[in-house]
Structure 1
Amino acid sequence: MTDPQDVHNSPDSQNPGDTPAKSGIELAREALAQARADAAKRGSVPGQGKRKGPRGPRGPQPGRGGDPKLFGAAIRELMASRGWEQRAAVGGVFGNWPGIVGPELAEHTRPEKFEDGELTVAADSTTWATQLRLLSSTLVKRLNEELGHNTVRRVKVVGPSSGPRRPGAWRVR
């Protein structure tokens, strides 16, 4: 039984006087040569796709960043170029408040805002507000270790608010 894929044993190649049958590799070479010739007529190179115009320079381009960078390094560079370093660091303090002041103090206090070197911290009771006021100089040092020298100059502590007072005379309940 003959294999229909076998070029050497095909019935057409057995005719005397015909040229010898070509092997598979020869047929592939001829097909490739024909494809290259067709592509040359069209003005393109096989496997490269169509080029619509001249391409720009291949090296690093100004403003494009050049070589790939690690994500963390790229973010730090972006923050430095935009002047966001201090804001991001302060945001880190707000996010890591328990890690900075400890879990017990963090349970009763929370940072509210940071403005012009002053961190405002709210306490849930007057007792914890007093405790935080006593620790404020230590807290300023600790925050400056985290954020950089002289970022926080003062900690303002606010206690719980009982709401706005009604105008007028004092009232006894």
Structure 2
Amino acid sequence: MSTPNDDDQRPGPAKRGPDLARDALNAARAQSAARKKTAAQNPQANPKGRRAGSAASLQRRRWSGSGPDARDPAPLGATMKRWLGDVGAGADLTKATVLGRWAEIVGPDIADHCEPVSLVDGELVLRAESTTWATVLRGMAPQIVARINKEVGHGSVLRVRAQGPSSPSWRFGPRHVSGRGPRDTYG
């Protein structure tokens, strides 16, 4: 007998570029909100036990010069890049940008025959519609990396790994025992 909750647990269709980008952006926002909440609950203590705004916590500079200083004005782009690095959302925003703008970045010719699956540690995994297209994508990997880095930012993608279409897997769960699997139970 089926309950209403059984339908909620069935896997839906595989998510594509814009849906993956939206999920990555929502995860980055949730992670940032959790980090801010944790920081508000546990303010960092001053290592010397002084109040943050007290005159005793300010260190006197021994010299002043005309060279660059941390107090100098900085371009907005550099400030935003440093802020994104501190918050830890830079990788998530890069992932959301690449997955969301995939067809726009690589063009319709390539986007019609493959889709991005993941972007982790600079490695972009593409799933091609056929093994032939996977081979073509492996040959075009340097051009694809250059085009993405030109559009999104230098160093966003370091390498591309192309996969062919996947066949159904009989492997479920994190543990696996080698052997014939379900084939020995048929007939």
TM-score (structure 1 length as normaliser): 0.48
Larger Rg: 1
Looking at both structures, which has the greater relative contact order when contacts are Cα pairs under 8 Å and sequence separation is at least 6?
Answer: 2
TM-score (structure 2 length as normaliser): 0.44
